[in-house]
Structure 1
Amino acid sequence: MPAATELTTAVWRKSSRSGPVSDQQNCVEVAFVEPAVAVRDSKRPECGALVCTGTAWRAFLRSVAE
């Protein structure tokens, strides 16, 4: 798993399913920090991120697509 310092330099991408910037709801960002994937609330990045393996991320995506 990546160190916390790696997450501060990570390239975060806002989810295409998130609302517009003016919408203060549903703001999720993801960063791919090999070999892990990090997810955070873009409105509150100081609260940290959920970090999981690439395998767990793909399983999550499959489960929400069903």
Structure 2
Amino acid sequence: MPAPGGKGREPTPLEKNRALAQWLEFQLRQVRGRIRDLEAQELLERQEQGRRKPGAQEPAGRGRREVEAKP
């Protein structure tokens, strides 16, 4: 793809692959962060369940929260 605003050259296969590797590393960091967040959320939920007595009612508005997937 030419540089914005002028005539540029096409990126070489090496440049394309380096850019792809950087993008994939970024995506992997994002996913690992979401995994850490979900693991922490599950740990808190398990700890809360361990503190509750069996058969106790769940407080209104509490419970499993839907997590929106990020593109």
Could you tell me the TM-score, scaled by structure 1's length? 0.26
Computing the radius of gyration over CA atoms, which structure comes out larger, 1 or 2? Answer: 2
Could you tell me the TM-score, scaled by structure 2's length? 0.25
Between the two structures, name the one with larger relative contact order (CA 8 Å, sep ≥ 6): 1
Which structure has greater strand proportion?
Answer: 1
